[in-house]
A = this chain, B = another copy of it.
Amino acid sequence: MNPNMKAIIFDVYGTLFDVYSITSKCEELYPGNGEKMSTLWRKKQLEYAFLCQLMDKYRSFLSITRSSLKYALNELQLLYNEESEKILLEAYKQLSPFPEVESVLQQLQNKKKLVVFSNGSHDMLEPLVKTSTLSPYIDDIISIDDVKQYKPTPASYLHALRTLGYEKEEILFVSSNGWDIIGATNFGFKTAWVNRKNLPLDELDTLPHFMFRDLSGMLK
């Protein structure tokens, strides 16, 4: 990695933590529906965040995560009550990190400043990060909730840049979400796409500077 890089910004959901690790909790509550449910929940969560941003009607990611959960349960015609909703939302604060993440962060620590930056609101991010094994390696938790502008808007990335206090060219932006990488590259960050699903590059003339299959590619 370029020695001029002083800080690394990591996206959270899908990049450090596996949003589909919630599948087992979904399966436990709704046997036979875990996978369909977690997939639809995530799909709607992203759609709702984008829609709220496009309509200029901000709602926190926690509120959006709750709404998209309800929608997913309705579409799959699964019954729920306050209790099951609470269990699932709590589980979203205990997602599992991807297997290689802790070791990679450990090796980068003390060499670079390591921060996370997410569409998640602090009431979701803090419990998730602080109770995880990754906590000792994370120097700061930055949320778009402070400016109420969702990624991939330029305003959201500007918030991360300002909070960090480094120059743009001193920062590497890391995400596994294609739309996040497009947004961050468009903003002017140096970007690394963690292409966990081995997908083709997007066709919006906004290419990431680096591409890895998982985070361990960053160490090479």
**Chain A residues proximal to chain B, CB less than 8 Å:** 47-48, 50-57, 59, 67-68, 70-71, 74-75, 150, 152-154, 179, 182-183, 186, 199-204
Contact = CB atoms under 8 A, between A and B. Distances in A.
A206 to B, nearest CB: 8
Given A56-B154, A75-B199, A199-B75, A182 B70 contact: no
Q: Which 8 A-B pairs have the closest CB atoms?
A: A74-B200, A67-B203, A71-B203, A70-B203, A55-B186, A50-B50, A54-B152, A54-B153
A204 B48 contact: yes
Contacts of A55: 152-154, 182-183, 186
Contacts of A71: 200, 202-203
A154 B47 CA distance: 17
Count of identical protomers in the assembly: 2
A47 B186 contact: no
A120 to B, nearest CB: 17
A161 to B, nearest CB: 16
